[in-house]
Amino acid sequence: MKIAFHTLGCKVNQYESEAMAALFRQRGHLVVDEHDFADVYVINTCTVTAEADRKSRQYIRRMKKVNPDSIVAVTGCYAQTRPEEVSAVAGVDIVTGTNEKSSLPRIVEEFAERGQQHVLRVHPLEQLTSYEDTGIVTSAENRTRAYVKIQEGCNRFCSYCVIPYARGEVRSRPMEDIIAEARKLIRGGYKEIVLTGINTALYGTEPGFGRGADGLCAGTGRAAAAEPSGIEPVIAALDDLDGDFRIRLSSLEPAVVNADYVKRLLPYRRLCHHLHLSAQSGSDAVLRAMNRPYDREQYLEIVRTLRREDPGYGISTDMIAGFPGEKEEDVEDSLDLIGQCGFCRTHVFRYSRRPMTAAAEMKDQIPSQVKGERSRRLQEAGEQAAEDFFLRCAGQTRRVLWETYSPEDGLLSGYTDSYIRVWTKAAPEEGESRLNTFEDVRLAEPFRDGMMAESSSP
């Protein structure tokens, strides 16, 4: 059969779609482009906001229209959290949850053989107790950067977040599988390995995984244990591998790690000097209401610790605009935090009321127009902070991995370890030959969404 995927949401979903595509191929099916005419459409959904739910429903309907005789299989976070609602969308044949990726090809084949009967296969969260093995996957963004999923689930229950209801408890991938996948990617020529998961800082912390929940400070400010814990053993093992590559973390939760913990990661030579640390708010009152177990001072201490070691350390963040009960002074605190931290990127999300979460029941929900206005101000502050950060980095020499070349404008571009997009002029042949190579460059001045560089290599 011809199988097409449409994937919504985060890098974890993209990774899992690649894993499912590989399993379909292993069973003799042909995976085609999502816009092609297919026998089976797999829609891997997201439910992080109400808008994500709406888009998921829209794609389900659209795919059935492309081929009314096709099998439409819906999986992912929206399917896991609201299977009945998804089943009720016209045209849906199969609904599976977030722990059924490896069995989806077999479910689809059985459906095709036995004829038209709706299949609903969603396990309750309490049954999601082990990491689902989907085999060794190649999930790559381009020829240079590939993703390795290291864990599943989250047990933090931030009051706005539906993810624990979609992904269940923390389950960590065995270290040997992570290393095997990374080795294959490095042999395949990928130069940047991005460790991804639902909450990667929680790697290895579930009871029974071997390491226990030691060492992670959960925002209490206590010193981390001296023994490697959490994600650190994964970084240490990858750092020791042979090859010409670097490691990037997709994010680390300040709800899990503190300044001592991130400081311990600094000596790993392959680990990029960039962290995505979701602040969500700069107001202590809002952070408490969000059930985020850190305050702005602890967050700032993480940022100061990293920047003391490397003033050009790149830090990106997420901010939520219009959390229930958020006051003007809370917004001011968030704007101030953005300015103080000098984020290289700030992703701003309007608060979205998610079913099942504590915040959905809170009083003082913020009107949509106010959320929009606050979101715009946070966005502008984020852009200003990035520009200031770029200006402060001017004159630094940093390692860039070249990723794209455009012959039209003669520009080569890539990212520094600190996640600044860098551009440089290059003639066509030279530009192509530098792709997927590392180079030390001197950052000159802000340009487009990053900086222009002067090459400091011979």
CA distance 367 to 199: 30
Between 73 and 202, whose beta carbon lies closer to ligand SF4? 202
Taking the least distance from each CB to ligand SF4, the nearer of 41 and 351 is 351
Residue number with CB closer to ligand SF4 (64 or 156): 156
22 or 362: CB nearest ligand SF4: 362
The answer to whether 358 and 291 have CB atoms below 8 angstroms apart is yes
Residue 5 one-letter amino acid? F
- Provide Rg for the chain, Cα atoms: 22
Nearer to ligand SF4, 154 or 302 (CB): 154
Burial class of residue 31 in the structure, from the number of CB atoms within 10 Å of its CB (0-12 exposed, 13-18 middle, 19+ buried)? buried
**158 lies in the site for ligand SF4, by CB under 6 A:** yes
* Nearer CB in complex with ligand SF4: 44/200: 200
Give me the long-range contacts of 34-38 (CB less than 8 A, separation at least 24). Answer: 34/4, 34/5, 34/6, 35/4, 36/2, 36/4, 37/2, 37/66, 37/67, 38/1, 38/2, 38/3, 38/4, 38/66, 38/67, 38/70
Alpha-carbon distance of 247 to 249, in angstroms, equals 7
Residue whose tokens read 């192509």 = 432
Q: What is the DSSP annotation of 373-408?
A: HHHHHHHHHHHHHHHHHHHHHTT-EEEEEEEEEETT
CA distance 437 to 186: 13
In the complex with ligand SF4, the residue whose CB is nearer, 156 or 270, is 156
Minimal distance in Å, beta carbon 198 to ligand SF4?
6
Site for ligand SF4 in 311-370 (CB under 6 A): none
Burial pattern 368-397, b for ≥16 Cβ within 10 A else e, equals: eeebeebbebbbebbeebbeebbeebeebe
Shortest reach from residue 156's CB to ligand SF4, in Å: 4
> Binding of ligand SF4 at residue 157 (CB under 6 A)?
yes
Q: How many binding residues for ligand SF4 (CB under 6 A)?
A: 11
Q: How far apart are CA 67 and CA 136, in angstroms?
A: 32
Q: Give the shortest CB-167-to-ligand SF4 separation in angstroms.
A: 8
Please identify, using beta-carbon distances, which residue of 158 and 400 lies nearer to ligand SF4. 158
Q: For residue 154, state whether it binds ligand SF4 (rule: CB under 6 A).
A: yes
Which residues ranging from 161 to 180 are in contact with ligand SF4 (CB under 6 A)? 161, 163-164
Q: 222-242 as b/e, with b when 16 or more CB fall inside 10 Å?
A: eebeeebbbbbbbbeebeeee
Q: What residues from 245 to 284 belong to the interface with ligand SF4 (CB under 6 A)?
A: 253, 255
Region binding ligand SF4 by CB under 6 A among candidate stretches 109-117, 156-164, 383-391, 399-407:
156-164
Select the residue interacting with ligand SF4 from 101, 145, 156, 191 (CB under 6 A): 156
With contacts defined by CB under 6 A, name the span among 81-89, 157-165, 220-228, 300-308 that binds ligand SF4: 157-165
CB of 43 to ligand SF4, least distance (A): 22
How far is the C-alpha of 245 from the C-alpha of 190, rounded, in Å?
7
Question: CB under 6 A: which stretch of 27-35, 109-117, 121-129, 158-166 binds ligand SF4?
Answer: 158-166
In this complex, which beta carbon is closest to ligand SF4, that of residue 161 or of residue 344?
161
Q: Is 276 helix (H, G, I), strand (E, B) or coil?
A: strand
Give the shortest CB-159-to-ligand SF4 separation in angstroms: 9
Q: In whole angstroms, what is the distance from residue 30 CA to residue 24 CA?
A: 7
Q: Compare residues 70 and 199 and give the one whose CB is closer to ligand SF4.
A: 199
Contact between 199 and ligand SF4 by CB under 6 A: the answer reads: yes
Scanning 151-159, 265-273, 328-336, 345-353 for contacts with ligand SF4 by CB under 6 A, the matching segment is: 151-159
Residue 230 in contact with ligand SF4, rule: CB under 6 A: no
CA 227, CA 121: separation in Å to the nearest integer? 41
> DSSP class of residue 184?
H
Helix (H, G, I), strand (E, B) or coil at 46: coil
Distance of closest approach, residue 62 Cβ to ligand SF4, in angstroms: 29
Restricted to residues 291-310, the positions that interact with ligand SF4 (CB under 6 A) are none
Closer residue to ligand SF4 in complex, CB, 254/414: 254
Q: Are 170 and 202 spatial neighbours (Cβ–Cβ below 8 Å)?
A: yes
Amino acid at 389: F
Nearest to ligand SF4 of 154, 422 (CB atom) = 154
Closest CB 44 distance from ligand SF4, rounded Å: 18
CB of 448 to ligand SF4, least distance (A): 31
Residue 287 near ligand SF4 by CB under 6 A: no
Strand ranges (E), 111-191: 119-121, 139-140, 145-152, 171-172
With beta carbons less than 8 A apart as the criterion, state whether 176 and 170 touch. no
Closest contact distance (angstroms) between CB of 308 and ligand SF4 is: 26
Binding residues (CB under 6 A) for ligand SF4: these are 154, 156-158, 161, 163-164, 198-199, 253, 255
